[in-house]
Amino acid sequence: MRIAPGATIGILGGGQLGRMLALAAAPLGYRVHVYAPENELVAAEVSAHCTRAAYEDREALAAFAAGCDVITYEFENVPAESVAFLSALKPVRPGAEPLDVAQDRLSEKRFVTGLSGRTAPFRAVDTLDELQAALVELGTPAILKTRRFGYDGKGQARIEHASEAAGAFAELGGEGLILEGFVAFEREFSILVARTPEGDEAHYPACLNHHRDGILAETRLPAEGLSAAHVEEATALVVRIADALGYVGVLACEFFACADGPLFNEMAPRVHNSGHWSIEGAETSQFEQHIRAICGLPLGPTGLTAPEVVMRNLLGAEIDGWADILAEPRAHLHLYGKREAAPGRKMGHVTRLST
Ligand code: AMP
């Protein structure tokens, strides 16, 4: 069903992704209603309506749904039950199932391997015995991760030697964990695909990601050094994932590039930091594309607008360099309006286009 311009789009989550979605919805004539519990909601500052309430508050969710024509999310730890509740009231795109799969690293990896995708070797870990057995099977180094609520390298511990197992196990809470074999990857890249309710799809060129301390630092296109066959294989997998989930919206998947092909690392059922370059660097930004997809509009083209595009995140005090960035003729500055520049916090980004 097409949601025509003039309608109201509900967004669960109030951070920078919601802010950039709202900014992309405006030129298409949509109004945005943000729903999130936090005090600081940088998305609400550029939106027509805001509800500040807990994600579990059924009364507030029902009132929010009543005022929206379609609902989406920009935050992947919204309880899947709340999304299922909203789905009975209004279309929620993407729906509860992609969220449910992506919220748990174990179900995510099982889902992807079920679609013939390759991942790092992994084992579910709920006891120290299981961890020790998994370390024998997968070897060291290995990475122990929480199955849920990990982000930006949080909720992970690298295990160099079996003697570190007990410490890492306790540090991560001792249950609901997954052990992954360490991947000696050559590069990291993401693939973003958009899908409409009718199943029309558009995919973006692969982008190379560089992480520092587990946080995305830089995204770069074109993805030099990636073989076209590996990009094709990864893109085909993301399309299979989107089709299997009946996905609607932008889906981002991160991959490790290895000599023998791409390994799926994780998916985000939403617009993604590694797609920020597309605001100026692609013919249609990931944010506009997501709005088009969830409203059932035709998808836009995804080609690059410059020979080279580089997006850098501005973390913490790095935003203090804003005046210098603005003085560069081919730099595009985005500040998210967050009040506290805590170390490592994503405060903004800059995209530079080559001539
Ligand atoms: P994640 O939260 O799973 O995306 O992990 C954050 C970053 O840690 C990744 O982008 C990689 O740089 C690194 N990493 C995560 N898992 C592995 C792995 N199994 N082997 C090697 N590096 C990893």
Q: Which residues contact residue 323 at a Cβ distance below 8 angstroms, ignoring those fewer than 6 apart?
A: none
pLDDT over 90 percentage in the chain: 96
Alpha carbon distance 208, 220 (integer Å): 5
- Over residues 166-188, the mean pLDDT reads 94
Instruction: Beginning with the edge strand found earlier in the chain, give each strand of the sheet holding 49-52 in spatial order.
Output: 49-52, 31-36, 8-12, 70-73
**CA of 109 relative to ligand 1 center, distance in Å:** 14
Q: Which domains does the chain have, with CATH numbers?
A: 8-92 (3.40.50.20), 121-181 (3.30.1490.20), 187-353 (3.30.470.20)
**Closest ligand 1 atom number to CA of residue 183:** 20
Q: What pLDDT does 99 receive? A: 94
**CA of 57 relative to ligand 1 center, distance in Å:** 34
Q: Which of 10, 80, 75 is nearest to 47 (CA)?
A: 10
Residue 74 and residue 17 in contact, taking contact as beta carbons nearer than 8 Å = yes
Cβ of 69 below 6 Å from ligand 1: no
- How many beta carbons lie within 10 A of that of residue 32, not counting itself? 26
User: pLDDT at residue 152 above 80?
Assistant: no
Pocket test for ligand 1, best of 104, 144, 265 (most atoms within 8 A of CB): 265
Alpha carbon distance 105, 212 (integer Å): 21
Q: Please provide the average confidence, as pLDDT, over all residues in the chain.
A: 96
Local confidence band at 340 (pLDDT 50, 70, 90 cut-offs): very high
Q: What pLDDT does 175 receive? A: 85
Angle between helices 58-66 and 80-87 (to 10 degrees): 40
Cβ of 321 below 6 Å from ligand 1: no
**CA of 63 relative to ligand 1 center, distance in Å:** 39
- Over residues 6-26, the mean pLDDT reads 98
The helix (H) or strand (E) run that includes residue 262 is strand 261-268
Q: What pLDDT does 115 receive? A: 98
Cβ of 280 below 6 Å from ligand 1: no
**CA of 254 relative to ligand 1 center, distance in Å:** 10
> For ligand 1, atom 13, which residue shows the shortest CA distance?
214
Local confidence band at 137 (pLDDT 50, 70, 90 cut-offs): very high
Q: What pLDDT does 149 receive? A: 85
Cβ of 188 below 6 Å from ligand 1: yes
Q: What pLDDT does 300 receive? A: 98
Q: What pLDDT does 180 receive? A: 97
- Over residues 135-141, the mean pLDDT reads 96
Q: How is residue 39 annotated by DSSP?
A: S
**Closest ligand 1 atom number to CA of residue 120:** 19
User: pLDDT at residue 317 above 80?
Assistant: yes
How much of the chain is in helix, strand and coil states, percent to nearest 5? Answer: 30, 30, 40
Q: pLDDT tens-digit profile of 262-293?
A: 999 999 999 999 999 999 999 999 999 999 99
Amino acid sitting at position 5: P
Cβ of 76 below 6 Å from ligand 1: no
Q: What is the pTM of this model?
A: 0.96
Distances (CA, A) of 168 to 79, 178, 186, 250, 274: 27, 12, 26, 35, 29
Q: What pLDDT does 151 receive? A: 75
- Over residues 117-145, the mean pLDDT reads 96
Q: pLDDT tens-digit profile of 86-101?
A: 999 999 999 999 999 9
- Over residues 236-262, the mean pLDDT reads 97
**CA of 204 relative to ligand 1 center, distance in Å:** 22
**CA of 335 relative to ligand 1 center, distance in Å:** 27
Q: Which of 151, 147, 148, 108 is nearest to 130 (CA)?
A: 147
Q: What pLDDT does 174 receive? A: 86
